[in-house]
Amino acid sequence: MIYLFLGNALVGILILLSIPLEKEFTIGQYAFLISFSIFLDLLPTIGYFLGRFLSKSQKLHWSTLLFLGVIVGLFTQVLLPKLGLVGNEGELMGFISGILFFIIAFAPPQIQFWRVKPTT
Q: Which residue has the higher pLDDT, 120 or 7?
A: 7
Angle between helices 91-105 and 62-74 (to 10 degrees): 150
Contact 75, 98 (CB under 8 A): no
Question: What's the pLDDT score for residue 34?
Answer: 83
What's the mean pLDDT when you consider all of the chain? 80
Could you tell me the pTM of the whole model? 0.77
pLDDT at site 29: 82
The pLDDT tens digits of the residues spanning 11-41 come to 888 887 787 766 677 778 888 888 888 888 8
Complete DSSP assignment for 67-117 = HHHHHHHHIIIIIHHHHT-S-SS-HHHHHHHHHHHHHHHT--GGG-GGGPP
State yes or no: pLDDT of 5 exceeds 80.
Answer: yes
